[in-house]
């Protein structure tokens, strides 16, 4: 059986920087309050009138990743696109990406696992390669949150967290079983779905119903999060997913060279870092400047860490995420 290895990485974020002070002009909040609870200082939001969308940002990140892999668009055999904020209710972003990159008629799969989206997408791509079906798979995580956030006092506890952006990785076949993805581990617990959710539009509560209701107090189409509940579950599930990956490969926490956690909240990352007794050099966080970009967060952070030279040949790299669903998971790889 083949193995799979990341051969190219890329990310793109909008130019428009939105600071905590900027948000304080829209709603009753301040820099100190946001940083204390989330660790976020600023985030990127697509500016009104920009060409950027979820799919467009995904395409921009993908071009960088494909070039860095030393490949062309014609070398890509399959697309896995993870997002909770597609340009359309359907079709999904994968087929848009195929068109925007002017690719041949390769398959395109969409993953809707929110904050765990990139972990799930990478796992899917890994299996396609390991079974020999594909040689090069483009894996993308992209989000446009800013267009769907409640930018009033009502939504401030959620709105301050999220940012826009995209990241992409090219996963390629290798016959070296000592390098690449060693294992992936995926989990879900649907009974907690309503603790982090956007309820509408949905098939049972579709747009005409929303319009007919004409209810200014209807919050169903804005994100809802039970923050304390999510935090308590996240720190447990993050740890469980990492431990499962380490045990599967007969590794210890001391073997980790770089942990890239989903950038949900800096406090969660710090809690996990402390639990595994990792140094600041062993964990990479960039939520301070990009916020939570959901399906894009792990791949943006991985790309940035690699660009900064923090990931080296033969390093043990651990990716982990937890989010809405609840879903969570980890990927263990040897660089």
Q: What is the DSSP letter of 105?
A: S
What is the structure's pLDDT at 185?
98
User: Taking the model in full, what pTM does it have?
Assistant: 0.95
| Exposed / middle / buried, residue 203 (Cβ in 10 Å: 0-12, 13-18, 19+) | exposed
Nearest in space to 141 (alpha carbons), one of 55, 89, 81, 53: 81
Phi and psi at 124, nearest 5°, equal: -60, -45
Sequence length of the chain is: 335
Residues 77 and 110 reside in one and the same domain: yes
d(CA 99, CA 222): 30
User: Which of these three, 177, 192, 221, is where a domain ends?
Assistant: 177
Nearest in space to 44 (alpha carbons), one of 309, 296, 223: 296
Residues 198 and 73 reside in one and the same domain: no
Residues 224 and 123 reside in one and the same domain: no
Residues 62 and 170 reside in one and the same domain: yes
Residues 199 and 123 reside in one and the same domain: no
Residues 71 and 217 reside in one and the same domain: no
Residues 8 and 92 reside in one and the same domain: yes
Residues 161 and 213 reside in one and the same domain: no
Residues 156 and 78 reside in one and the same domain: yes
Range of the domain at 54: 3-177
Would you call 112 helix, strand, or coil by DSSP?
Answer: coil
CA angle 118–119–122, rounded 5-degree value:
80
- Is there a cis peptide before residue 75, judged by omega within 30 degrees of 0? no
Residues 223 and 172 reside in one and the same domain: no
CATH number at residue 40: 3.40.47.10
What is the structure's pLDDT at 54?
98
What is the structure's pLDDT at 222?
76
Q: Alpha helices of 39-136 — where are they, by DSSP H? A: 54-68, 93-100, 117-130
User: Which of these three, 177, 197, 219, is where a domain ends?
Assistant: 177
Would you call 273 helix, strand, or coil by DSSP?
Answer: helix
Residues 284 and 305 reside in one and the same domain: yes
Residues serving a catalytic function are 115, 262, 292
User: Which of these three, 119, 143, 177, is where a domain ends?
Assistant: 177
Both structure tokens of 242: 């990492």
CA 257 to chain centre: 21
List the chain residues with pLDDT less than 50: none
What is the structure's pLDDT at 198?
81
Bridge-based pairing state of the strands 165-174 and 3-12: antiparallel
Residues 133 and 232 reside in one and the same domain: no
CA terminus-to-terminus distance, the chain: 19
How many domains, the chain? 2
């Amino acid at each position: 059986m083949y193995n799979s290895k990341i051969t190219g990485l890329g990310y793109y974020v909008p130019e428009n920087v939105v600071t905590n002070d900027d948000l304080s002009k829209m709603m009753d909040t301040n820099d100190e309050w946001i940083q204390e609870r989330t660790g976020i200082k600023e985030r990127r939001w697509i500016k009104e009138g920009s060409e950027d969308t979820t799919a467009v940002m995904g395409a921009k990140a993908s071009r960088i990743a494909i070039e860095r892999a030393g490949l062309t668009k014609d070398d890509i055999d399959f697309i896995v696109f993870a997002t909770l904020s597609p340009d359309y209710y359907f079709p999904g972003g994968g087929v848009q990406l195929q068109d925007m990159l002017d690719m041949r008629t390769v398959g395109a799969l969409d993953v809707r696992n929110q904050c765990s989206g990139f972990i799930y997408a990478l796992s899917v791509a890994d299996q396609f390669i390991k079974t020999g079906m594909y040689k090069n798979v483009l894996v993308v995580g992209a989000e446009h949150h800013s267009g769907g956030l409640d930018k009033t006092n009502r939504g401030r506890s959620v709105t301050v967290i999220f940012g826009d952006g995209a990241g992409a990785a090219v996963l390629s076949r290798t016959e070296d079983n000592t390098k690449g993805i060693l294992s992936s581990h995926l989990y879900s617990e649907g009974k907690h779905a309503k603790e982090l959710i956007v309820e509408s539009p949905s098939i049972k509560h579709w747009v005409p119903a929303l319009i007919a209701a004409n209810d200014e107090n209807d919050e169903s189409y804005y994100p809802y999060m039970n923050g304390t509940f999510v935090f308590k579950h996240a720190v447990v599930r993050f740890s469980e997913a990492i431990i499962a990956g380490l045990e599967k490969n007969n590794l210890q926490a001391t073997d980790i060279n770089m942990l890239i956690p989903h950038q949900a909240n800096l406090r969660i990352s710090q809690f996990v870092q402390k639990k595994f007794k990792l140094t600041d050099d062993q964990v990479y966080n960039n939520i301070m400047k990009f916020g939570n970009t959901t399906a894009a967060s792990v791949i943006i952070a991985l790309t940035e860490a690699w660009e900064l030279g923090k990931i080296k040949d033969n390093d043990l790299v651990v990716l982990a995420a937890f989010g809405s669903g609840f879903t969570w998971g980890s990927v263990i790889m040897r660089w």
